[in-house]
Amino acid sequence: MSDLESRIKALIAAQGPISVAQFMTQALHDPKGGYYATRDPFGSGGDFVTAPEVSQMFGEMLGLWCIQVWHDQGRPKNARLVELGPGRGTLMSDVLRTLRSMPEFFENLEVVLVEASPVLQKIQQDKLKDSGTAPGWRNRFDETLSDRPLFLLANEFFDALPIRQFVKTQRGWCERMVTLSEGRLVFALAPTPTPSALIPADRMEAPEGGVYESAPAATALAEEIAAIIARQGGGALITDYGFAAPGFGETLQAVASHSFADVLEEPGESDLSAHVDFAALAQAAKHGGACVFGPQNQGDFLVDVGIARRAEKLMATNPAAATTLVAGVERLIAPDQMGTLFKAVALMPDAAPKPPGF
């Protein structure tokens, strides 16, 4: 048993059951034993592969998206480029390489990476040391990032934010908790029904056994980002896996070594995530004052912003890489791979033109 698992069990024994959100927060971000705080989980040698690791073209398309949005808004000065959860820095490296083609944008740009993991911060610093910029790092997105036009990228970030789960029972909606049974971590339902104010009206008629997942941290952050963009200009592009319309069902999962694992076993040793509720994210962003575009299937978005043309150009200059390039594009856009499950959403100022890809 790990030290983190022992501490979680001791907390439950002393204070009673904890929410799924609290369990996720500790399992992922505990400074001493949390999953993201202690390792590099990305790539073939880690636990999962993200789109920027599949192909450089993913980051290049997001870079082109930023350039077009910047251009469409009158080329604002002193813009800020922020990435949430930048992994190994691969996406930001590809984006910045693309932005260098537009010196007026690139040379006046402040670059900020929001990363809580000291391990990943060091990897990102090494990756970006020759990027032509002097990036800054923050442990969290906060008000210090609210004073300039904001261009924000978040790829597979919102799916890792903690969720609460509620189950429809005969006595009403009850929150799913994590507790102890015979010394093991198990799920159990709270004995007291959840106040109806916490369940959206469009979810109230769920069948018995239906599961509603909410992500308060995700919606609060989306509203905060939207408010900055509505006030200062810029745009946010969120790419992640999830569902576009409200539904009922559990999506919380654990992944280790590219395979599914038990959510409650060995906390801190597997990645925990849940499908993004894009409808809830959009509602929060609109409340913050932004105009929302999407969700759009990732495959359609990437095709629209020019990934096929970019692949053709790369193959023309490097024919030996053609097979790898085609495979990368296929994985990113094919409906049976990442093209449909993964989606893109853009947050824009109310008066801004429609962004590319939507």
- Cα separation, 48 vs 270, in Å, equals 10
- Cα separation, 258 vs 255, in Å, equals 6
Q: What are phi and psi of 191, to 5 degrees?
A: -70, -25
Whether 301 is covered by a domain: the verdict is: yes
pTM of the model: 0.92
Whether 199 is covered by a domain: the verdict is: no
Quick one: pLDDT at residue 22?
A: 96
**Could you check whether the bond before residue 295 is cis, i.e. omega within 30 degrees of 0?**
yes
Strands 253-256, 271-273: pairing is antiparallel
Quick one: pLDDT at residue 258?
A: 66
| 357: three-class secondary structure by DSSP | coil
Other beta carbons less than 10 A from residue 104's beta carbon: 12
Spell out the residues 6+ positions from residue 292 whose beta carbon is closer than 8 angstroms to its own. Answer: 282, 285, 286, 345, 346, 347, 348
Quick one: pLDDT at residue 41?
A: 61
- Cα separation, 67 vs 106, in Å, equals 9
Q: For residue 64, what are the domain limits?
A: 51-161+214-348
Quick one: pLDDT at residue 256?
A: 82
Quick one: pLDDT at residue 37?
A: 76
Whether 38 is covered by a domain: the verdict is: no
Quick one: pLDDT at residue 1?
A: 75
Evaluate whether 209 touches 165 at the Cβ level (below 8 Å): no
Whether 41 is covered by a domain: the verdict is: no
Q: Whose CA is closest to 337, among 345, 327, 325, 324?
A: 327
Whether 200 is covered by a domain: the verdict is: no
Whether 342 is covered by a domain: the verdict is: yes
What tokens does 190 get?
Answer: 């709270």
Whether 112 is covered by a domain: the verdict is: yes
C-alpha dihedral (135, 137, 143, 144), degrees to nearest 10:
-50
Quick one: pLDDT at residue 248?
A: 67
Whether 79 is covered by a domain: the verdict is: yes
pLDDT along the chain (358 residues), means of 10: 91 95 93 79 60 93 98 96 96 97 95 93 95 94 96 96 95 95 94 87 81 95 98 98 80 84 90 94 97 97 96 92 92 94 97 95
Evaluate whether 284 touches 226 at the Cβ level (below 8 Å): yes
Quick one: pLDDT at residue 214?
A: 94
Evaluate whether 152 touches 82 at the Cβ level (below 8 Å): yes
Domain holding 310: CATH number? 3.40.50.12710
Question: If DSSP states are collapsed to H, E and C, what string results for 41-105?
Answer: CECCCCCECCHHHHCHHHHHHHHHHHHHHHHHCCCCCCCEEEEECCCCCHHHHHHHHHHCCCHHH
Quick one: pLDDT at residue 33?
A: 87
Number of domains in the chain: 1
